[in-house]
Structure formats: C-alpha cells, structure tokens
Amino acid sequence: MKSNAMQNEIEIDRDDFLVALKPFRQFSTKNLQADALLFKEDSNLVISAFGIATEVPVTGKWLNEVRAPIGFFAKLARVLNSDDPVRMWLMDGRLHIGSLSIPCEVQAATGSEITVALDADFLTILKLRYEYSVDQIERAGLSKPLQYAESKLNSLIERSAVILSPINLPEVELKGFIQRWLQSGGGAA
C-alpha cells in the first residue's frame, strides 16, 4: 500500500523526538528482526515495540500505521540531523525522517493487539501462531521473530527425529505432536 506525503506528514520537536527515541536504544545491540509500529493518537506520535511505547507531540496529519525495522529507531538518535523541527513523512513505501529514509509497511490504523516482552522466550514466540491470526501477528511486527522461531523449531525436530530413529518415530509424527502441544497451550505454568 502506498501513501502520499499529503496524508502522512508531521513535524516533531527535535529534542522531544530524541527523548522519545531513548527507550529504543537498548535494541541497537540486539539483532532483532521485529518492527516498530508508529501511529498517531490524538496529537501524539506513538512508537511501539515489545511492550515499550513512547509518545511525542506532533503537528500535521498522520492517517496510517507504519511498521519499520526497530533497529532503525534504535540508531536514529545518533544520526538524526540538526533540523528542528524534524519532518517525518511517507512516500512510495518509504518512511522519511529528516534526510533519512527506510522501506516500511503502511497499513490502515487499527492498533496492535499483541504485546510481547523484548526478552520473550522461544516458547512464547512459537505460541503466537496459535493465539493470534496471521494478520494480527503481521500488524504487530512479529512475523519475522515468529518465522525465525519456527525455523529453529523445525531444525530441533529434525535433529530429535534422528535421535529417536531407533524407536521408529517418524519426523512428521513428532512435528504433529509438538504442534498439537503448542496449540493446546503447551508449557503453560
């Protein structure tokens, strides 16, 4: 979905923006594949990821939700130009902030329904598939972490099937068992 700058163009006080970005600096040392979610609520821009949300006052119009790699926001404070106010807009599938831009996903504003901790364990990420729709996972920016977790699980299943080969347990049966276990809330405390 492409959006023009007329529908999504705001200005942010540079100092306020730097304060809003501060909680996301912790993500710069992690190789996260997740996205941050940006949306306007009243007169504030909200930046949200992994249960952390910051708000910063803005002027202008912002009609959509935007997902962009969280690492971009983690590093943005160090490379943000000195322009004040900072101009942010969407154009041709890219999020522009000052002189910087990055590819992004634009979606209708609906709000994320999934909150996952930054240090969510492997099992918590795997269970997302059975607790939320594909669309909800995508809108929350958690598709990449889930794909990674599922790839890791498949690798573990393949290795486990080799170890269990003396009892003739087929890999497909092992995978089915684990999927049913996850679906039923496996590992719930």
With beta carbons less than 8 A apart as the criterion, state whether 60 and 90 touch: no
With beta carbons less than 8 A apart as the criterion, state whether 84 and 91 touch: no
Question: Has residue 128 got a pLDDT over 80?
Answer: yes
Cis amide linkage into residue 170, ω under 30° from 0: no
Query: For the chain, which domains are there?
Result: 8-108 (3.10.150.10), 122-183 (no CATH)
Tokens 């007169």 — which residue? 43
pLDDT confidence of residue 159: 92
Question: Has residue 2 got a pLDDT over 50?
Answer: no
Tokens 């006080």 — which residue? 13
Picking from 126, 175, 145, the residue whose alpha carbon sits closest to that of residue 36 is 145
What pLDDT digit, counting tens, does each position of 34-55 carry? 778 888 877 888 888 766 778 8
pLDDT confidence of residue 7: 76
Mean pLDDT across the chain: 81
**Alpha helices, DSSP H, located in 25-86:** 70-79
pLDDT confidence of residue 179: 87
Q: Residue 27 is encoded by which pair of tokens?
A: 């993500």
